[in-house]
Structure 1
C-alpha cells in the first residue's frame, strides 16, 4: 500500500507539539509493517533537513496556486520526504503557523488559507492519476486542519472522473483548532460552489478546513477511543459534534504510541543515568542531577514535574493554585513550557517565591524535558481535555507515575493506583476540579511513603507496551479496508 502522510510539522525538523512527534514515528512504524510510505510537508524557511536530495520537481503556477517545487529527499533513516517549497508562503516561516514578516508574527486570512490550501492541493495531486512525482498514493492520510482540504480535493477529483483518486483518512489531533477563514477564500482555494454549504465547508458563515476534512474523508480517526466519544458531545465538540455524530460510522479512536527509539530510559542519551524496570536504582541519579540543575534543595519528598503548554487546558491553573498544598507536604515542583503570558508570569512568580522548592523554565527545551521525565517522581498532567497526550506515556515509560484527569487519552492509558491496585499505573482524579486535584496529590504523598509499593507502581507503568510497533497495526487495517472497499 502506498500511503502519503500529510502534515504541517514533523520532528525533528519542525515541532510545536505532539503532532510533530506522531508525524515522525507513525510513518516509520507503518514502513516497518510493510507500507510504502512518504511524508509530505512544507519546506519552511531555515528548516534543517538531513538526507539526500533525490529529485526536484517543478510545480508551475496554476490559477491562483503559486509556482512551487517538490523536493524529494531520502533521509538516512525513515520514510522518504516530499518537501513543498514555495518561498512566498513558507520561506520566512518561523513555525508552521506563524510568519515573522507580519507585524504580530502571524499570517492572516487568505495568506494563511493559501499556505495550507496549497499543501492539501499537492497532496491530492500525489493521490491522483496526474501525480507530479511518478508515485501515486493509494491513501492520503491528512492530519489536523492544515491538511483538511485534501479529502475534499480528492472528492472533487473523483467527481471530475478520476476513478483512481486515493482514499482519504482525516486524523483529528485536537478538535479545538479548526482552520476557520472567510468564505470568500473559497474561490481562491478552488472549492466548488456545491461544497460551500452546511453539508460542506460552511461553518457559521465561514469556511472551516477541518470541517472539510470531516465531511469528505473516507475515514476519520482521532487519537484515543475516549476522545472519539467525547467529541461527539457539545462540551468537547467545539461546534462540530453534530458533524461527528452524523459520521460516527466512519470515526475511529486509535490510541497514539510513543517513539521508543527516542523515549526509552535504557538508551536515552539525554539523561544522566540509564535504567529500566528491572534496575530502578539509577533513577535516583537522574533525580539528584535534576535537583542540582534546578537549584532545588535535597529532599526525601517527591519531586513533581510538569512539561507542556502553560494553559488552562493543560490544568496549569490547578497546579498553581494547588502549589501551597504540594509544597506544605514536602514536595518540590519543576515546570517547563510556554503558553499564556499570565500563566507564564504566575509560574515565574512561584519559582521566585520558593527558589529551593520550585523551578521554572519558560521555554521549549527537549533535553530538559527528557531529564524531567527521568528525574521526577510524579508527572502532573491534570488536563481539562486531552485528545491523547504523549507525556503521560513518556512518564509511564520512565517510571514516573502520572497524575491525570479522566479524559481522552489519559483515561485510556493510565490506570488508577487505588481503583485497581494490582494494575494501577498512576493517579486519576475523580473530576476536573481543584479539590479533586489536591485529593489526588494527597494520594501521591500517601503512596510515596510505601517505597516498595511505589516501586511496583513504577514497574507496572514501565512494562506497558506504548510503542508505535503495536499502535500502528490498526492504521494498517484501516488503510486495507478503505482500499478493498
Structure 2
C-alpha cells in the first residue's frame, strides 16, 4: 500500500505497453533468475521459460529481488520511477525498482530493491543457516511487486509465481480489498519447483507479513500450527504446475507430498506437471566452445578427447576404455549421496568417478576422503563453475543421479545431450525423461544394492561397443527444448484465464 504521506511518484511511460492483440503481459515472480541470482535449477528454469515465451511473441516481465549478486552481472542499473512506501504488518519499507541499462533482448527484468531485506551476502542464508527474517523478506518482495505492476505494465497481466518465496503474492491478491479489485480478473499460476521447500514459519509471521488472521486456517495458510507460504499459494492460485508429470502424481501421495498431498489432491484438474526444458543451443556438444573438442551424435569420435581432458583436470590416469562416471549438483541428501557413498562398486570398481559441486559439509568431507582412499579412481572438485559442468558432461561416459526425489532435474537432460547416459532412480522427472536401457539406466529402491545393480547393467552395455554406441546416439538426439514445455504452459495459462474470467 502506498504511504498516504508519500505521493504516488511520477513513473512516466510504462515499461511495457499493452499489445494491440490484448494479450496479457506474463509477469514472473521469482527468487532466482539466471545469471543474476542462482542457487539451483530454479534460476535456469524460470529464465528458460521466460526466454522462449518472448521468442514466441509474448510480453514478459520478471521481478527479482535486488541481491548483491545482481550487480556482479548487471553493474549498470537505472531506477524506474521514484521510491514507493510499502506497508506490511505494522512497519513501512521504502522500495525502489531498477532495470538493467543496455539490457540484452529478451524478458524485461525488474530488480526489486529493499536493502534491509536483500543487501546481504547470501540469497536465503549464510554459513548453512537460513536468515531468521526470511518470511518478511519475501513477503515484502511479493507485496511490493503487486504495487509495481500497475505502474510499470499497461494493460492486462497474468501473474506467474514460482515456489514459496513468491506464493504470498497470490494470497494478497485475493485477501486485500484494494488488491482484489485491482486484480479481479487477473489469472494466476503457481509453479512448484521443489515441494520439499515450503516456507514454514511460526504464527508470529502473520503480523510481520501482513497475512490476515482469517487466512490462518487449514483451508488457506495454516499447516500443523505453522504458517506455510507454499500452501498459501496453492490455495489461492487459479492453476498449479509442478515440473514433471510423474512428480505431479508423487505429490498427491502421502509418501511424496511433503505433508501437502491432500492440498494437491484437492486441486484436482487445476494441478498438472510439465517437464522443464534446457537451452539446446547452450547445451550442444557440436558447437560448445567450453569443451575440449566438439562432437555430435553423427560423429561422437572426439568425445574421447573430452574424456581425456576431464581425466587430466581431475588428476586421474588417462585410460580410454575405463568407464568414467560423472556427478554434478548440490551435495545434499536429496541427490542420493548416501547411496553413492555406501555403494560397494564405487569403492571397488576399476572405474573412475568425478564429482563436481558443493553442499553439506558431511558429504563434501566424505567424498574428499573417498578421493584420498582411491586417488587413481576418484576426483572431487568443490568449486562449481559452468565451464567445468560443460566439460564434465562432455567427458563422462555415465552420469550418476540416484536421487531420493527429483521434481524434474536438469542435469540428466544435459547429460543425455552430451552422450553421458544417466544412472538414475525412477522418480519424478528422471522417470519422465530417461528411458531405461535406451537412453540411461533406472532403478527403483533407494538402496545401495539397487543402485549397484543399475551400475552393473550400464557397464555391461558400455563394454559392448555395438550396444553402447546406438544408446549414446539415441540419448544425444532427445528433444528437451523449452518450446515443447512452453506450449503446455500456454494451455495452462488459457485455463487460468478461463477460471479468472469466471471468478470476475
| TM-score higher than 0.5 | yes
Asked whether the equivalents of residues 327 and 357 of structure 1 are also in contact (C-alpha less than 8 Å), the reply is no
Distance 1:44 1:455, change over 3 A: same
Q: How far apart, CA to CA, are the structure 1 residues paired with 2:335 and 2:463?
A: 28
Alignment correspondent of 2:331: 310
Asked whether the equivalents of residues 40 and 81 of structure 1 are also in contact (C-alpha less than 8 Å), the reply is yes
Asked whether the equivalents of residues 33 and 47 of structure 2 are also in contact (C-alpha less than 8 Å), the reply is yes
Q: Report whether the alignment pairs 1:97 with 2:124.
A: yes
Counterpart mapping for 1:217-232 below 5 A: 217-232=237-252
Shift in Å at residue 65 of structure 1? 4.0
Asked whether the equivalents of residues 331 and 360 of structure 2 are also in contact (C-alpha less than 8 Å), the reply is yes
- Decide which of 443, 452, 457 is 1:429's aligned counterpart: 443
Q: How far apart, CA to CA, are the structure 2 residues paired with 1:176 and 1:133?
A: 33
| Alignment TM-score, normalising by the size of structure 2 | 0.89
Distance 1:236 1:440, change over 3 A: same
Distance 1:469 1:65, change over 3 A: farther
Alignment correspondent of 1:84: 112
Distance 1:107 1:58, change over 3 A: farther
Distance 1:480 1:285, change over 3 A: same
Alignment correspondent of 1:421: none
Q: Report whether the alignment pairs 1:357 with 2:380.
A: no
> How much is the aligned-residue C-alpha RMSD, in angstroms?
1.9
SS at match of 2:220: coil
Alignment correspondent of 2:81: 57
Q: Report whether the alignment pairs 1:482 with 2:504.
A: no
Q: How far apart, CA to CA, are the structure 1 residues paired with 2:254 and 2:291?
A: 42
Shift in Å at residue 3 of structure 1? 0.4
- Decide which of 448, 451, 457 is 1:443's aligned counterpart: 457
Alignment correspondent of 2:143: 121
The more displaced of 36-45 and 186-195 is 186-195
Q: Report whether the alignment pairs 1:455 with 2:469.
A: yes
Shift in Å at residue 43 of structure 1? 0.7
Asked whether the equivalents of residues 154 and 165 of structure 1 are also in contact (C-alpha less than 8 Å), the reply is no
Q: How far apart, CA to CA, are the structure 2 residues paired with 1:389 and 1:295?
A: 28
- Decide which of 248, 264, 270 is 1:244's aligned counterpart: 264
Q: Deviations over 1:156-185 (max 9, x none)?
A: 257743354521111111111111112122
How many residues are matched?
A: 469
Alignment correspondent of 2:54: 31
Shift in Å at residue 99 of structure 1? 5.2
Counterpart mapping for 1:79-228 below 5 A: 79-92=107-120, 94-98=121-125, 106-108=130-132, 111-127=133-149, 131-135=150-154, 138-157=157-176, 160-162=180-182, 164=184, 166-228=186-248
Gaps of 5+ in 2: 1-23, 500-504
Gaps of 5+ in 1: 418-423
Asked whether the equivalents of residues 406 and 430 of structure 2 are also in contact (C-alpha less than 8 Å), the reply is yes
Shift in Å at residue 266 of structure 1? 1.6
Q: How far apart, CA to CA, are the structure 1 residues paired with 2:233 and 2:156?
A: 18
Shift in Å at residue 203 of structure 1? 1.2
Distance 1:409 1:415, change over 3 A: same
Q: Deviations over 1:361-389 (max 9, x none)?
A: 12322211111111000000010110000
Shift in Å at residue 312 of structure 1? 2.2
Q: How far apart, CA to CA, are the structure 2 residues paired with 1:374 and 1:139?
A: 39
Q: Report whether the alignment pairs 1:405 with 2:428.
A: no
Asked whether the equivalents of residues 157 and 165 of structure 1 are also in contact (C-alpha less than 8 Å), the reply is no
SS at match of 2:335: coil
Q: How far apart, CA to CA, are the structure 2 residues paired with 1:81 and 1:151?
A: 20
Alignment correspondent of 2:34: 11
Q: How far apart, CA to CA, are the structure 1 residues paired with 2:38 and 2:355?
A: 20
Q: How far apart, CA to CA, are the structure 1 residues paired with 2:69 and 2:336?
A: 34
Distance 1:443 1:163, change over 3 A: closer
Shift in Å at residue 216 of structure 1? 0.4
The more displaced of 44-53 and 220-229 is 44-53
Q: How far apart, CA to CA, are the structure 2 residues paired with 1:442 and 1:351?
A: 21
SS at match of 1:62: strand
Shift in Å at residue 320 of structure 1? 1.5
